[in-house]
Amino acid sequence: MWLSGNSIAILAFLTWGLLPLYFQFIPNANVFEILSIRVVFSIPCIYLLLKIMSLPMERIWTAMQNKRVLLICFLAGIFNLTSLYSFTWAVTNGQVLAASLGYFMNPIFSIALGVLFLKDKLSTFQSIAVALSIAGIGCQVIYYGELPWISIIMGGAFALYGLMKKFVDLDALSIMMIELILILPIALCLIMSDLWQQTSVLYSGDNSKILLYLLSAPVTLIPLVLFSLAVEKISLIMIGFIQYIEPSIQFLLAVMIFGEVLLPVKVASFSLIWLGLLLCIADIIVKKRIGPKILRL
């Protein structure tokens, strides 16, 4: 591909960040139907990409004979669906700020999962960042009297999705194909249920709405594929820097385009989490600059 890894990553997160502009045209959507359509239509798209990139399907069939791989990929698919469901529900129900908060929290969840499951060690900056994020969530808990569940589920599920990929030795597109194949029966059951109960968008008679549902498959798949390609080309450090394009765009859309009310408690919550993310970035910069000097000594 003629684009650089950084360019591909920027395109991925720009697309993700702008998705609320698409979903505003289908408010109060049947989220399960949208996700089911996405699964069904994504399989031929991923198959075509595998062929274009000369990645053998035989490797996928071989991997699927391993029960451990099947379990991990199935869990990854469920976590991805959970995150996508939360995101889609949020942006089709006037909760774009909640979607933005969820993806701002995602790196902190990833750090915590790394400590719990991958034996990663928290640096001082990362420890402070986690504490600030907890404080940010705490602000909303105290004000609203409940946890910002949609944001926590969204960010946590996507972090778990990333964790699952650490345990499978396959390229990103092949893992995506296995995930889709494994959750295809669930998607087909949901589609058949909607058709049986005549609650499917197909019974609405609104051709533009039907088209929006169908196009939601490639619209949500494109950034995920771009992200997977970028991960193979550039370091996770760069991915981490570029990632914050997405929730930043969604935050601005929520306030400036969709007119969501930015209460002081949300300003305080976002500010604490932003500060935590800045500390994580500072930590990365310090390690990159000091590391080579230590080696020279």
What pLDDT, on the 0 to 100 scale, is given for residue 276?
Answer: 79
Please state, in angstroms and rounded to a whole number, the distance separating the CA atoms of residues 273 and 32.
30
Residue with tokens 């990833």: 110
* pLDDT, block means (10 residues), the chain with 297 residues: 73 89 87 91 89 86 92 92 91 88 79 78 78 84 83 88 82 88 94 90 83 88 81 63 79 87 84 80 71 47
What gap in Å lies between CA 231 and CA 5, rounded to an integer?
8
Which residue shows structure tokens 């959970």? Answer: 82
pLDDT at 235: 58
Look at the block and give the residue holding tokens 């705490």. Answer: 138
Contact 37, 217 (CB under 8 A): yes
Non-local (6+) Cβ contacts of 182 within 8 A are 70, 73, 74, 77
Q: Count of residues for the chain?
A: 297
> Is 76 exposed, middle or buried, given 0-12, 13-18 or 19+ CB atoms closer than 10 A?
buried
CB atoms closer than 10 angstroms to residue 82: 18
pLDDT of residue 294: 45
Tell me, what's the pLDDT at 286?
A: 75
Please tell me the predicted confidence (pLDDT) of residue 296: 46
pTM, to two decimals: 0.82
Contact 174, 72 (CB under 8 A): no
d(CA 278, CA 128): 11
